Structure 1
Amino acid sequence: MSKMHSLPYSTVTPEQTYLNRRALLGGIAGAGLLAATGARAQEVPEFQIKGFDTTETPNSFKEITTYNNFYEFGTGKEDPARYAGSLTTDPWSVEIDGLVSRPGSYGLGDILAKMDIDERIYRFRCVEAWSMVIPWNGFELRQLLELAGVEPSAKYVRFETLYRPEEMPGQKRAILDWPYVEGLRLDEAMHPLTIMATGLYGKTLPNQNGAPLRLVVPWKYGFKSIKSVVKITLMETQPVNTWKAINHREYGFYSNVNPEVDHPRWTQASERRIGGGVFAPRIATIKFNGYEDQVASLYKGMNLSKEY
């Protein structure tokens, strides 16, 4: 398992080689011959595949990094790629407080030195009915929470994005109540599907995608996967996330991908995969974004039409 802290773009594997390597290593592993990769294995990062990946073809690096929601840099889908270069991501630290036994400011380098970084290819579904398939690099959020020591009374996790309007021009406008806030129930946060991403396609996470550390919760709509995280708070009560605070009729706390519950202004029953062009066919949205077998038990007994 690799420890990938930061890789310059010039030294990582090209996108097509990455995909070919993944297919090759998958075949080798299936034949029990992984050790035979020899010198080739030293040329590229190796990853642990934990069985949660989708088999769908990932979107291209360009598609993933040029069509984004990151209102801290503007409301246009191209604004993050256009303006996020101004963001300073080194040094970086994350304050972890609340119901933890070891509260404090954790430097990103110290965090990564203790984490198991692996690769996950996840479906990513946005509330506006567009979707991507993204190869993330990261570590399970559970590892970070355990590092801080979760106390028994903790039931929720609150996340907060960086507030730095001198580098994030969208924060100079009252588009949202800054800083951006999101939250998970503790069992959602501790689920092995939930990761803190540090990169994609084997590359350091680009600023427009939430560098240097972002949450990824693949069975929920994309706005739950908060970017550029600087604070994590363990709580006993449910935190108020930004979009629910702005419009609770349209955005709930859970925000699980659910084709049976429409947004008031558009259907959630279908989606369009980014990269297919303006005439790309709509495809049926899968409940929990395709991860129902792994996460449906978290919501047993809940009415997901009301607790959306």
Structure 2
Amino acid sequence: MSRRFVVPKIDSSEITPESVYLNRRELMRAAGLGLSTMALAAAPLTAASTGSAPRPLDFTSPEGEQFSSSEQKTPYADITAYNNFYEFGTDKDDPARYAKEMTIDPWAVEVSGLVLKPGKLNLEDLLSGFDLEERIYRLRCVEAWSMVVPWIGFPLADLLQRFQPLSTAKYVEFRTLYRRSEMRGTRSFGSIIDWPYREGLRLDEAMHPLTLIAVGLYGKTLPHQNGAPLRLVVPWKYGFKSIKSIVSIKLVDRQPATSWQSLAPREYGFYSNVNPAVDHPRWSQKFERRLPSSLFRPNRIPTRMFNGYEEQVAELYRGMDLSKYY
């Protein structure tokens, strides 16, 4: 019998030091959607349009505590000022400086490929039926630097199930918005990436309840530089599988080509799990630098297998040589 995963409810007061949270209506208004009614309070989409409504999650089981990190949260300023978003430049502060040039209203996501009911959803319809006040996750996120981020979002599986994946679907391919007029990094001479940015997951990875679509953090709508209006969060692959500003999700039967794997296959494999035992060709992955950190006060800590989520996700890779499938 497969193990049933649940996600815990974490009180807002435990997640953010802000004195007053934005309510759901304010959350959507801040996202620039201009809704006259509350999208999150609206009736779920019907099965005739995009499949079944999102499934409710069980927040009551103590088993759900395994998904929440008790570690100290990274300050909001660090989370929003230190980012990778090459569409706006390769320096860590470029996204915070330039991502505001990206238009996120209106926004739509197309789900296609090996699904029974392909289609395109506007953001407000995509969020219909999700109570984001109940969807706050505090997760460890890591690459060469690491953070503990209180995300607001929902499991990717809840979205995919609305389009009814076919039994032949084995992988999920994602694409980021590509708009040269608003993304100066894509116009740079000698751009290092073949735009649009592409990412992929095996279907069972995508359907794992730890794999999230994030629409906010720290009680606020997602900032542009963090991947507004919606991005992928895979905490045991964070920094490798963190595609932002998603406009396309496609279910396929063959492993999709990802941007970094296509660019540098010796350095970036398809799986990209956080694994301290497998070094990057140019640096060790045995340690991470937890933000905030500085030259004189480096916050250097050992990297944990699967970023500390080994108990939850190791079964996905049973029998695989993770030095080969890196």
TM-score range, shorter chain: 0.7 to 0.9
Residue equivalent to 1:161: 176
Aligned to 1:245: 262
**Which one of 304, 313, 316 corresponds to residue 298 of structure 1?**
316
3-state SS of 2:214 partner:
strand
Whether the 8 Å contact between 1:214 and 1:227 is mirrored in structure 2 is yes
RMSD: 2.0
* Residue 145 of structure 1, CA deviation: 0.2
The reply to whether residue 109 of structure 1 matches residue 131 of structure 2 is no
Whether 1:134 aligns to 2:149 is yes
Q: What is the match of residue 219 of structure 2?
A: 202
What is the identity, as a one-letter code, of the residue corresponding to 2:300?
R
> Which of 86, 96, 110 is matched with 1:81 structurally?
96
Unpaired stretches in structure 1, ≥5 consecutive residues: 1-11, 20-46
* TM-score, structure 2 as length reference: 0.79
Is the CA contact 2:205–2:316 (under 8 Å) kept in the aligned structure 1?
yes
* Cα distance between partner residues in 2 of 1:121 and 1:290: 13
Q: For each residue in 1:104-136, what CA deviation from the matched residue of structure 2 results, as whole angstroms up to 9, or x when unmatched?
A: 11111001013343011111112xx11111110
Q: Distance in 2 between matches of 1:281 and 1:82?
A: 25
Give the Å deviation of 1:15.
4.0
Matching residue's letter, 1:83: Y
The 3 A distance-change label for structure 1 pair 257 and 13 is: closer
User: Structure 1 CA distance, aligned partners of 2:239 and 2:15?
Assistant: 26
Per the TM alignment, residue 17 of structure 1 is displaced from its structure 2 partner at its CA by: 3.9
Instruction: Tell me if the contact between 1:142 and 1:190 (Cα under 8 Å) persists in the aligned partners.
Output: yes
TM-score, normalised via structure 1 length:
0.84
Matches within 5 A, 1:15-94: 15-17=16-18, 50-51=64-65, 52-94=67-109
Identify the residue that residue 286 of structure 1 maps to in structure 2: 304
Checking the alignment, whether the CA contact within 8 Å between 2:15 and 2:138 is kept in structure 1 is no
Going by fraction, where is helix more abundant, 1 or 2? Answer: 1
Distance (whole Å) between structure 2 residues aligned to residue 91 and residue 281 of structure 1: 40
Change (3 A) 1:14 1:187: closer
User: Offset of 1:175 from its aligned partner?
Assistant: 2.3
Give the Cα–Cα distance (whole angstroms) in 1 for the partners of residues 288 and 19 of structure 2: 27
Counterpart of 1:153 in 2: which secondary structure? coil
In 1, Cα distance between equivalents of 2:239 and 2:19: 25
Deviations 1:140-193 (A, max 9, x none): 000100011111100000000000011111111222110000000000000000
Measure how far apart 1:274 and its partner are: 1.4
Deviations 1:190-242 (A, max 9, x none): 00000000000010000000000100000014131100000000000000110
Code of the residue aligned with 2:17 in structure 1: it is: Q
**Cα-to-partner distance string for 1:1-50 (whole Å, 9 max, x where unaligned):** xxxxxxxxxxx99942479xxxxxxxxxxxxxxxxxxxxxxxxxxx9584
Partner residue, 2:36? none
* Displacement after TM superposition at 1:72 (Å): 0.4
Alignment of 1:132-281 (within 5 A): 132-173=147-188, 174-278=191-295, 279-281=297-299
How many residue pairs are counted as aligned between the two chains?
269
Moved more, 192-201 or 109-118: 109-118
2:72 & 2:14 partners in 1: Cα distance? 17
Letter in 1 for 2:319: G
Matches of 1:290 and 1:80, distance apart in 2: 28
What letter matches 1:232 in structure 2? Answer: I
Cα distance in structure 2, aligned partners of 1:210 and 1:13:
24
8 Å CA contact 1:158–1:184 kept in 2: the answer is yes
